[in-house]
Amino acid sequence: MNIKAQLKKSFLAFILIFLVFTPLSALTVKLGSPFPEGSSWDSSLKRMSAEWSEITGGRVKMRIYPGGVAGDQADMIRKMRIGQLDAGVLTAFGLQSIVPNTFLLSLPGLLKTEAELDYVIEEFLPGFDDDFVDEGFRILGWSKSGWAYFFSKSPVRTPQLLMNEKLSVSNADEEAAVNFKALGFNVVPTSLSELMVALQSGMVSAFYAPPMAAAAYQWFALAPYLIEFPIGPVIGGFVISERTWNRIPESYHADLKAAVETVAQDFYAESERLNREALNVMNRHGLKVEELTPGELEQWYTLMNSGHRLVVGEGKWIDEDLYDNLVSALKDLR
């Protein structure tokens, strides 16, 4: 063998050894989170970050931007599309802006129990996976955080009475405002940061939220009547850009998704605890729960379900066949 051939063989052997024994450069996944730094949810995300690093032998690290530092949901989605951010924890409205059909779960009055919600998460949500991929995203896990309820300044037991109140609806959600207005409610678009002042001034006299939010922001002090009608579940999801997901070796995907699902369970357990604690605190400080009769409860379900067609059908958020299939499945389940 001549010297040139020997050198070539030695060089190829060196390259092979280098590839085998040199670790891949670490990929840093930048995650936007709405949860305040130091909160239980933030701690769960940090545990997930550590687990991702352990699963991949340090090849995938995560940098968390808590407390909305990465912007609101629209900002996070835009940044994920252009590569400034890799992943985000989104609410139902953020998920809906990517795949409109996902708002199916949040339709007021459609789901009635936690068992029904679990059924839909297991049987219907996997059908959205390809829709997210088509939009350049990958949904790695869904989370649930309790249910939203109406709160009002005056005793309210029927939809007609709530129509006399000034109902706060997020000014970031124009569709919800339009739909509540179409049902006959007196809607006042309000931002989250403005709600307390709006309640103090009388600009609004009712709002809807999960108990933990009503207690944390002290809104219930100015609207102490909770209507015991579960409007809909509070849903969220962990989303990563398809671009970033494809940069992670496929051999890690299943374990990384499992770590996300563990965090989703942590979110649910913590939300359940906080909602129970919030109700206990509010009950000690003047909360009045309006327990509805079966007839009154049926009025709420009838009205809310009558409004579903506002967002279901051709050219609207939710596919009609998908909606009809779920309604049929729920009837069988009940």
Q: In this predicted model, what pLDDT tens digit does every residue of 133-157 receive, in sequence order?
A: 999 999 999 999 899 999 999 999 9
> 37: Cβ–Cβ under 8 A, 6 or more apart, which residues?
66, 67
- Give me the percent of the chain exceeding a pLDDT of 70: 92
Q: Which pLDDT score is estimated for 19?
A: 40
> Total structural domains in the chain?
1
| 60: in domain | yes
Q: Which domain holds residue 316?
A: 23-333
Read off the pTM: 0.82
The enclosing domain of 95 has a CATH number of 3.40.190.170
Q: 175-191 pLDDT, tens per residue?
A: 778 889 989 999 999 98
> pLDDT at residue 218 above 80?
yes
| 281: in domain | yes
> pLDDT at residue 11 above 70?
no
| 111: in domain | yes
Q: 191-213 pLDDT, tens per residue?
A: 888 999 999 999 999 999 999 99
> pLDDT at residue 18 above 50?
no
From 25-29, 271-275, 296-300, 301-305, the region with the lowest mean pLDDT? 25-29
Q: Which pLDDT score is estimated for 2?
A: 58
> 324: Cβ–Cβ under 8 A, 6 or more apart, which residues?
none
Q: Which pLDDT score is estimated for 327?
A: 94
From the list 129, 45, 51, the residue with the least C-alpha distance to 88 is 45
Please indicate whether residue 280 or residue 175 has the higher confidence score (pLDDT): 280
Confidence of residue 21 (pLDDT cuts 50, 70, 90): very low
| 12: in domain | no
| 97: in domain | yes
| 7: in domain | no
Both tokens assigned to 151:
């709160």
> pLDDT at residue 301 above 90?
yes
| 2: in domain | no
**C-alpha dihedral, 64 to 70 to 72 to 76, nearest 10°:** -80
| 9: in domain | no
